[in-house]
Amino acid sequence: MTITFIGHGYVGLVTASVFADLGNTVWVVGRDKKKIEDLKKGIPPFYEPGLEELVKRNIKAKRLLFTLDYKPAIPDSDVVFIAVGTPPNKTGDAELLGVFEVSENIGKNLSGYTVVATKSTVPVGTNKRIKQLIDEVKPKGTEFDIASAPEFLKEGTAIQDTLSPDRIVIGSESKKAEKILVELHKPIDGQFVLTNLETAELIKYASNSFLATKISFANAIAKLSELVGADGLRVLEGMGFDRRIGKEFLSPGPGYGGSCFPKDVKALIAIAKNYDYSFGLLDEVEKINGQARRDIVRKTRKILTDLNKKTIGILGLSFKPNTDDIRDAQSADIIEMLKQDRANIKVFDPQAMENAKKTINGVQFCTDVYDVARGADALIIVTDWNEFKELNFTKIKKLMKNPVIIDGRNIYNPEKIKGLGFTYVGVGR
């Protein structure tokens, strides 16, 4: 098939490249000249393992094409995917101006019959509004159907997730559109959930909000474990053996971050509010998440008594490992709180330094972990990158002013670290 993706972010570019690799001709439409020029040379605008190679391979095979213009892409496409960002606005609702703008542009360039499918995470009812917008601008004689095709990939494992998703959700009001989308997804190894627009839209928000709830639950249990003297990690492990509960997402830490969970929880609260339903459970999930970030700083403060002029090293800036994404990253909040305590802050991340330099100021960007450790009064592990797991602690202890480790991700064996002469504190331990 010939298909188009509008947007070349984590979702648009990864799914476009995977569909190209499966033999389709895939257009990617962007609006940033420099990024499109880079993409034509095979340079993605962000880091995702394996992506650059996949993009380059499919450019070479002439299956992956980049353009700033809708004209060469839309008329020939059987399916057009909307994959633009939907960040939260001031009220917590998803900002949909970008989605509506691109919908109009798609509509104006339609030819023959096209399926317009939304991959962006959008509130219930959005796809029906997209349909109205396209109807108003489409050229005479053209036909289209709308579909909701929410995306569930995870940054860091996005290619594998796209090739082998837990489920492929397709919401549609048209059997013809559904059939075309099923056909397109056939080479992908996943369980189909075929349903209507509203159900598909809500599945995405419900899934992300449930995962965020699991993380906040783990953090609440960790906090309680610290208070009652239980081993929080063993409690959560013990819970996870129950197949109805499952082990995943039961890890306490600095809370959830990134461009999806925080905004999708907010958006689901806002969606419910629009229908006069107060989703109080999710209010609490957000509250616990904020506490989890604050607790990291509170623990640091407790050990060092006063953070004024103390040097604090932050290991990890991205919201999770294997990505350079720092949107709503835990590190940003933690750094802000440390700044308010007048601490000197040194930071390092294996991939996110460039992005961080654009948004985080007043910190010292270091070249590696040991550079961060030099002269530090405490090291805080914010992101559980693999390369932080095996370090030369003898060297780190010598470099640090005060051998203190706040293990925000519980990646170290406390006894081992304490045995080396460090003051160690984890989460829930």
Ligand X SMILES: NC(=O)c1ccc[n+]([C@@H]2O[C@H](COP(=O)([O-])OP(=O)(O)OC[C@H]3O[C@@H](n4cnc5c(N)ncnc54)[C@H](O)[C@@H]3O)[C@@H](O)[C@H]2O)c1
Residue where the block lists tokens 């969606």: 271
Q: How far apart are CA 131 and CA 159, in angstroms?
A: 30
Q: Closest-CB residue for ligand X?
A: 9
DSSP assignment string, 362-427: SSEE-SSHHHHHTT-SEEEE-S--GGGTS--HHHHHHH-SS-EEEETT--S-HHHHHHTT-EEE-S
Residue range at the interface with ligand X (CB under 6 A); choices 3-11, 71-79, 183-191, 390-398: 3-11
The amino acid that residue 358 corresponds to is K
Residue range at the interface with ligand X (CB under 6 A); choices 98-106, 217-225, 361-369, 385-393: 98-106
DSSP classification of residue 305: S
Would you say 160 and 17 are in contact if contact means Cβ atoms under 8 Å apart? Answer: no
Q: Is 86 near ligand X (CB under 6 A)?
A: yes
Q: Measure the CA dihedral 51/52/57/58, to 10°.
A: 60
Pick between residue 63 and residue 119 the one whose CB is nearest to ligand X.
119
Q: How far apart are CA 240 and CA 107, in angstroms?
A: 48
Residue range at the interface with ligand X (CB under 6 A); choices 83-91, 132-140, 225-233, 384-392: 83-91
Q: Nearest approach, Cβ of 132 to ligand X (angstroms)?
A: 18
Q: Is 151 near ligand X (CB under 6 A)?
A: yes
- Exactly one of 20, 74, 102, 181 binds ligand X (CB under 6 A); that residue is 102
Q: Is 155 near ligand X (CB under 6 A)?
A: yes
CA 85, distance to chain mean position in Å, is 12
Q: Which uninterrupted H or E stretch holds 142?
A: none
Q: Nearest approach, Cβ of 327 to ligand X (angstroms)?
A: 8
Which x/- pattern, by CB under 6 A, does the window 254-283 give for ligand X?
A: -----xx-----------------------
Q: How far apart are CA 279 and CA 283, in angstroms?
A: 7
Residue range at the interface with ligand X (CB under 6 A); choices 73-81, 96-104, 333-341, 382-390: 96-104
Q: What angle do CA 13, 359, 81 make, to 5 degrees?
A: 20
Pick between residue 155 and residue 286 the one whose CB is nearest to ligand X.
155
CA distances for 396 relative to 36, 392, 409, angstroms: 43, 6, 18
- Exactly one of 18, 22, 133, 153 binds ligand X (CB under 6 A); that residue is 153
Q: Strands (DSSP E) along 125-281, which ranges? A: 143-148, 167-172, 191-195
Pick between residue 32 and residue 237 the one whose CB is nearest to ligand X.
32
Pick between residue 121 and residue 410 the one whose CB is nearest to ligand X.
121
Number of residues that bind ligand X (CB under 6 A): 25
Residues within window 200-239 making contact with ligand X, judged by CB under 6 A: none
Which x/- pattern, by CB under 6 A, does the window 30-49 give for ligand X?
A: xxx-----------------
Pick between residue 159 and residue 307 the one whose CB is nearest to ligand X.
159
39, 94, 147, 260: the active-site residue: 260
Residue range at the interface with ligand X (CB under 6 A); choices 4-12, 63-71, 222-230, 370-378: 4-12
Residues within window 106-145 making contact with ligand X, judged by CB under 6 A: 119-121
- Exactly one of 42, 44, 85, 88 binds ligand X (CB under 6 A); that residue is 85
Would you say 327 and 345 are in contact if contact means Cβ atoms under 8 Å apart? Answer: no
Q: Nearest approach, Cβ of 162 to ligand X (angstroms)?
A: 10
CA distances for 341 relative to 131, 334, 344, 405, angstroms: 51, 11, 9, 18
- Exactly one of 3, 84, 146, 380 binds ligand X (CB under 6 A); that residue is 84
Q: How far apart are CA 411 and CA 271, in angstroms?
A: 37
Q: Nearest approach, Cβ of 379 to ligand X (angstroms)?
A: 28
Q: Is 251 near ligand X (CB under 6 A)?
A: no
DSSP assignment string, 40-71: HTT--SS--TTHHHHHHHHHHTT-EEEES-ST
User: Active site includes 260?
Assistant: yes
User: Which residues fall within 8 angstroms of residue 150, CB to CB, at 6 or more apart?
Assistant: 118, 119, 121, 169, 171, 200, 201, 203, 204
Query: Nearest Cα to 210, choosing from 152, 165, 161, 254?
Result: 152
Q: Is 428 near ligand X (CB under 6 A)?
A: no
Q: Is 403 near ligand X (CB under 6 A)?
A: no
- Exactly one of 98, 190, 240, 375 binds ligand X (CB under 6 A); that residue is 98
- Exactly one of 3, 5, 7, 17 binds ligand X (CB under 6 A); that residue is 7
CA 62, distance to chain mean position in Å, is 29
By the criterion CB under 6 A, which residues form the site for ligand X?
Answer: 6-12, 30-32, 83-86, 98, 101-102, 119-121, 151, 153, 155, 259-260
Residues designated catalytic: 260
